[in-house]
């Protein structure tokens, strides 16, 4: 008799089982023979023969007969009886088992068994009829002869545990065994029915969603065709739906826009909030949300554009080219925020336009002068009536792209107010670490500003808050020399002025001498803004003469300029001849450029008081006091003059406010000249701050001051020794016309002018 351990099958008597060859070989070395008896030992869990022990088997097994042996060694077995089996041991591939027949308790006749099977079969047939595969399943169900065959066939679908299967086999009572099998089949039917219902509901739900999506697509296609046929009848809601869909917004912005759109639908056109909702959607859908692809930059072409649009500014152009080159290498926006600082009319704003043209980008200019409300930068919250976006986002919308070149003009003219500081709002805008998620209060959703090339301009850095200034790289625009102004006028200003007046180059004759006269006598500036106005007036005058019949080319004489410009020539301080004790030529810096000034000192009878006139600021008054103390220290024998006389210090022009420490050396030299009676040549000028220790300290605005010295006819200039490094920013033609003497101490100056003996 062949002994075969088995596991995981629903074992019931009088049914066929099929075992593959590899399964038999794994558990026993015996080969089955036709009509051989087989004893099934029911394992509690699947193990190899070497691992099995007597405790691994259930006490009830099955006895059967081999009905068929396949050519590959697989067998079919007809189970017949239940047996009580006791495993005694396993050795050399053979099992030692003691077994005895386990009789059934016949408490259920054949008719009752047949009736029970028919009921279960009917329930199963009714269940399978509800499926497309029911016809195939029905044939299988009708083939089964009894409940045992049904349970064996469905054993893998019934989902019974090994313990539940063994309980069916071990039940001695036929009625109890049938009850357990019926329960297993009915539970299978109910579980399958619930799963089928759930799957059906899920399928119906999915079909509903698919149908809804299909209908929406059809509606969208039809609506699009209608909109194309009748664009004038497209509603605001429909228009914004399409714009939101095509805008490419980030997820946060899209949700906010859809929320506002839904509210707009609910409110209706007659609502008092409809206009506010419309304006918001019109703004956010008008922005460019999609990142622009980086365009390759032709560095040579960029350099040509900068040279073409602006004369001079060599260092500025070099720094711009460096930044553009870095952007080309990284294929994205990079580099510092550039701050162009310099006098008006020196090309700070217009060079931003050239950069935009060189990069082939849109150009936006935002004037910040006089802004005192933070909301002008960051926008107003929509809870306020008349709320508007900030100037930054308005500029982005105006440009129509997400990566324009944006010039923030007059950053130094931002002002604080009690309700906020606009310069603080600019910190986030200009910080590359933060501006990728800039949130305008009006929009209330983040917008990526990291691709915007920001360029700032200012006339001075003195009024720019330190945190804001630290985020920018300062590039100083020096004033133009007369030669540079002449070239700018010929290459840029005059052609534009002719074009604006409708003239050609052959209709107006403007010789270089006339241009030099205009530059010298009718403009007083570091830049060329006033020169542009003069050339515009010159061209308009020529246009009038041509219309009245004058022959081309029209020529305007120098003596006619006063009438053409309707102004007298500008008065420039001229050197006094000869020198006067107590009067010394100084150099000053103004926002309009450099200029010379005369420090005038005089003793009058009095009680040792000091009178200072000329609208001097506190810093300049302090410089005057330091100068008095220094002269008393350097010339102790002359101290009696200060005690018996009143000292009057005056700086013309009296109507023009003046301040700053750079006149310290001029004040000291003027007082030394006064007390010693030694006149200083007016062709010698000087600039520098002084300390009580007698040191000459560095100053700013040196290029502009030296240009003013050349214009006034000065021959020799004394500058602080530490300012020698700034001479690289001074035009060569200016340095060629001046003898520049660096000094470290006040005594060095006084010795050079002959007041102190060497």
323-345: per-residue pLDDT in tens?
A: 889 888 888 877 778 999 888 88
State the DSSP string of 144-164: --SHHHHHHHTHHHHT--HHH
Q: How many helices (H) does the chain have, and how many strands (E)?
A: 28, 24
pLDDT (0 to 100) of residue 69: 86
CATH superfamily of the domain spanning 2-101 = LON domain-like (2.30.130.40)
CA 510 to chain centre: 50
Percentage of the chain beyond pLDDT 70 is: 94
Q: Mean pLDDT, to the nearest integer, of 270-292?
A: 87
Beta-sheet pairing, 405-409 with 363-367: parallel
The one catalytic residue in 402, 662, 673, 681 is: 662
Tell me what the pLDDT averaged over the chain comes to.
Answer: 84
Whether 354 is catalytic = no
Query: What is the pLDDT confidence band of residue 467, given thresholds at 50, 70 and 90?
Result: confident
Least confident stretch, 88-102, 207-221, 446-460, 554-568: 207-221
Question: Is residue 379 within 8 Å of 354, Cβ to Cβ?
Answer: no
Within 10 Å of residue 566's Cβ, how many Cβ atoms?
A: 7
pLDDT at 576 over 80: no
Task: Write down the pLDDT at residue 43.
Answer: 84
pLDDT of residue 406: 92
Q: What are the residue ranges of CATH 2.30.130.40 in the chain?
A: 2-101
**From CA 670, how far away is CA 614, in angstroms rounded?**
15
d(CA 663, CA 599): 9
Task: Give the orientation angle of helix 664-676 with respect to helix 618-634, to 10 degrees.
Answer: 40
Report, as an integer, the average pLDDT of 542-551: 90
Is 621 a residue whose pLDDT tops 80?
A: yes
Tell me, what's the pLDDT at 748? 92
Specify the pLDDT at position 721.
Answer: 92
pLDDT at 496: 92
| Model confidence band, residue 364 (pLDDT cutoffs 50, 70, 90) | very high
pLDDT above 90 coverage of the chain, percent:
17
**Looking at residues 474-497, what average pLDDT do you find?**
86
The residue assigned the tokens 């570091």 is 526
Pick the CATH number of 583-752 from 2.60.40.10, 3.30.429.10, 1.10.1060.10, 3.30.230.10: 3.30.230.10
Residues 93 and 30: beta-carbon distance below 8 Å: yes
Question: How many other C-beta atoms lie within 10 A of the C-beta of residue 216?
Answer: 10
The CATH-assigned architecture of domain 299-476 is 3-Layer(aba) Sandwich (3.40)
Residues 586-608: tens digit of each pLDDT: 988 776 667 788 899 999 988 88
Q: What is each CA distance from 544 to 500, 507, 518, 554, in whole angstroms? A: 13, 12, 20, 10
Q: What is the mean pLDDT of residues 720-727?
A: 90
Q: How confident is the model at residue 419 (pLDDT cuts 50, 70, 90)?
A: low
Question: What local confidence, expressed as pLDDT, does residue 12 receive?
Answer: 65
Q: Which residue has the tokens 């099992």?
A: 95
DSSP state of 288: -
* CATH of the structural domain 482-565, one choice from 1.25.40.10, 1.20.120.330, 1.10.8.60, 3.40.605.10: 1.10.8.60
Is residue 705 flagged as an active site residue?
yes
Where do the H-state alpha helices sit in 268-409? Answer: 274-286, 299-309, 314-330, 348-359, 375-378, 391-399
Please say if the pLDDT value at position 673 is more than 80.
yes
8 A C-beta contact, residue 461 and residue 474? yes
Considering the chain, tell me which residue range(s) the CATH 3.30.230.10 domain(s) occupy. Answer: 583-752
User: Two tokens at 152?
Assistant: 């064996």
Would the pTM count as exceeding 0.95?
Answer: no
Lowest mean per-residue pLDDT among 47-56, 737-746, 748-757:
47-56
Residue 180 pLDDT > 70: yes
Tell me what pLDDT residue 627 has.
92
State residue 14's pLDDT score: 64
What is the full DSSP assignment across 555-579? E--GGGHHHHHTSPPPP-----SS-
Structure tokens at 351: 């060079």
- Where in the chain are all domains bearing CATH 1.10.8.60? 482-565
pLDDT interval class at 246 (50, 70, 90): confident
C-beta separation of 496 from 565 below 8 A? no
In this predicted structure, what is the pLDDT of residue 220?
Answer: 66
Span of 133-147, 442-456, 732-746 with lowest mean pLDDT: 133-147
Cβ count within 10 A of residue 548: 7
Write out the residue limits of the CATH 3.40.50.300 domain(s) in the chain: 299-476
> Each residue of 375-412: pLDDT tens digit?
888 888 888 888 889 899 999 999 989 889 999 999 88
Do 613 and 649 form a contact (C-beta atoms < 8 A)? yes
Q: Which residues contact 583 (CB under 8 A, 6 or more apart)?
A: 576, 598, 599, 600, 601, 670, 673, 679, 680, 682
Q: Using one digit for the tens of pLDDT, what is the confidence trace for 190-240?
A: 887 777 777 777 777 777 877 877 777 777 677 667 666 666 556 777 788
Which pLDDT does position 226 carry in this prediction? 65
Q: What DSSP letter does each residue of 6-64 carry, written as one string? A: E-SS---SS-EEEE-HHHHHHH-S----TT-EEEEEEBSS---TTT--GGGB-SEEEEE
Annotated catalytic residue within 348, 485, 532, 705? 705
Give the pLDDT of residue 107.
85
């Amino acid at each position: 008799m062949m002994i075969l351990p088995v596991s995981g099958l629903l074992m019931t008597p009088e049914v066929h089982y099929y075992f593959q060859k590899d399964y038999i070989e794994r558990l026993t070395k015996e080969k089955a023979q036709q009509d051989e008896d087989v004893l099934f030992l029911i394992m509690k869990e699947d193990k190899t023969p070497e691992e099995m022990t007597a405790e691994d088997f259930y006490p009830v097994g099955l006895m059967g007969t081999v009905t068929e042996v396949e050519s590959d060694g697989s067998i079919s077995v007809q189970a017949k009886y239940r047996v009580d089996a006791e495993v005694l041991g396993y050795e050399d591939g053979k099992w030692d088992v003691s077994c005895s027949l386990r009789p059934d308790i016949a408490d259920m006749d054949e008719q009752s068994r047949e009736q029970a099977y028919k009921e279960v079969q009917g329930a199963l047939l009714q269940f399978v009829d509800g499926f497309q595969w029911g016809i195939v399943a029905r044939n299988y169900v009708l083939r089964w002869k009894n409940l045992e065959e049904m349970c064996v066939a469905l054993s893998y679908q019934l989902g019974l545990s090994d313990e539940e299967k063994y309980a069916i086999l071990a039940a001695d009572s036929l009625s109890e065994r049938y009850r357990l099998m019926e329960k297993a089949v009915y539970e299978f039917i109910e579980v399958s029915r619930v799963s089928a219902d759930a799957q059906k509901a899920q399928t119906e739900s999915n079909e509903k969603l698919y149908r809804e999506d299909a209908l929406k697509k059809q509606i969208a296609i039809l609506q699009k065709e209608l909109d194309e046929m009748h664009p004038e009848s497209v509603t605001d809601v429909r228009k914004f739906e399409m714009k939101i869909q095509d805008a490419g917004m980030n997820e946060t912005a899209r949700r906010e826009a859809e929320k506002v759109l839904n509210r707009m639908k609910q409110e209706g056109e007659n609502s008092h909030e409809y206009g506010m909702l419309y304006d918001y959607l019109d703004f956010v859908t008008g922005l460019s949300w999609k990142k622009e692809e980086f365009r390759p930059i032709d560095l040579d072409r960029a350099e040509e554009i900068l040279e073409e649009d602006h004369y001079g500014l060599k260092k500025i152009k070099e720094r711009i080219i460096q930044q553009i080159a870095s952007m080309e290498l990284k294929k994205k926006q990079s580099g510092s925020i550039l701050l162009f600082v310099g006098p008006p009319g020196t090309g700070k704003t217009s060079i931003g336009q050239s950069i935009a043209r060189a990069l082939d980008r849109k150009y936006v200019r935002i004037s910040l002068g006089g802004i005192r409300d933070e909301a002008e930068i960051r926008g107003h919250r929509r809870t306020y009536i008349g709320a508007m976006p900030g100037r930054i986002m308005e500029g982005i919308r105006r440009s129509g792209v997400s990566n324009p070149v944006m010039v923030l003009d007059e950053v130094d003219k931002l002002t604080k107010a009690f309700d906020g500081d606009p310069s603080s709002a600019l910190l986030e805008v200009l910080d590359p670490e933060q501006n990728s998620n800039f949130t305008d209060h009006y929009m209330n959703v983040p917008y990526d500003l990291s691709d915007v090339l920001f360029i700032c301009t200012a006339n001075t850095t003195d009024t720019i808050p330190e945190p804001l200034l630290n985020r920018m790289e300062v590039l100083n625009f020096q004033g133009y020399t007369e030669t540079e102004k002449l070239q700018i006028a010929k290459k840029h200003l005059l052609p534009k002025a002719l074009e604006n007046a409708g003239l050609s180059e052959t209709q107006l004759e403007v010789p270089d001498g006339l241009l030099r006269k205009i530059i010298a006598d009718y403009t007083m500036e570091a830049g060329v803004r006033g020169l542009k106005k003069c050339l515009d007036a010159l061209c308009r005058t020529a246009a009038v003469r041509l219309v009245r019949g004058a022959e081309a080319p029209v020529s305007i004489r120098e003596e006619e300029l006063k009438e053409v410009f309707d102004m007298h020539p500008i008065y420039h301080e001229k050197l006094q001849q000869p020198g006067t004790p107590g009067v010394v030529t100084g150099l000053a810096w103004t926002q309009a450029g450099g200029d010379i000034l005369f420090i005038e000192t005089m003793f009058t009878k009095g009680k040792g008081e000091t009178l200072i006139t000329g609208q001097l600021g506190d810093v300049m008054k302090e410089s005057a006091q330091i100068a008095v103390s220094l002269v008393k220290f350097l010339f102790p024998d002359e101290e009696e003059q200060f005690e018996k006389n009143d000292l009057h210090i005056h700086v013309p022009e009296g109507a023009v406010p003046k301040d700053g420490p750079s006149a310290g050396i001029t004040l000291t030299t003027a007082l030394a000249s006064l007390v010693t009676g030694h006149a200083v040549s007016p062709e010698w000028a000087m600039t520098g701050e002084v300390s009580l220790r007698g040191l000459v300290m560095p100053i700013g605005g040196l290029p502009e001051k030296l240009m003013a010295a050349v214009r006034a006819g000065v021959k020799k200039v004394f500058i602080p020794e530490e300012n020698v490094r700034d001479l690289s920013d001074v035009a060569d033609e200016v340095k060629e016309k001046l003898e520049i003497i660096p000094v470290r101490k006040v005594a060095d100056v006084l010795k050079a002018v002959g007041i102190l003996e060497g």
